């Protein structure tokens, strides 16, 4: 691939980097919540946890 192709590929990856970063933040928050409740059989989110996930999910149009 020539230099121009690399530039286009890099620009494409940077275009989606905000979405990727938000997705990583969403997964980290989700894992934090799940790890805090490993001993429970059923997961019921508190309003605070739900709002944090919804705020990050809004960035993803989720």
Residue 39 inside a domain? The answer is yes
The tens-digit pLDDT sequence of the chain (62 residues) is 578 888 888 888 777 787 888 889 999 999 999 999 888 888 889 999 999 999 999 988 86
pLDDT at 1: 57
**Residue 33 falls within a domain, yes or no?**
yes
Q: Provide the sign of the torsion angle of the four alpha carbons 19, 24, 27, 29, taken in this order.
A: negative
Q: What pLDDT does residue 51 have?
A: 95
pTM: predicted TM-score of the whole model, two decimal places: 0.69
d(CA 31, CA 61): 20
Q: How many domains does the chain have?
A: 1
Q: Which of 61, 50, 45, 53 is nearest to 27 (CA)?
A: 53
In this structure, is residue 31 part of a structural domain?
yes
Domain of 31 in residue numbering reads as: 19-62
């Amino acid at each position: 691939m020539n230099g121009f192709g690399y530039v286009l590929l890099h620009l494409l990856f940077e275009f989606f980097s905000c979405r990727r970063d938000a997705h990583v933040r969403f997964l980290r928050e989700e894992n934090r919540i799940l790890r805090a409740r490993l001993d429970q059989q059923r997961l019921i989110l508190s309003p605070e946890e739900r709002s944090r996930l919804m705020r990050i999910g809004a960035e993803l149009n989720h």
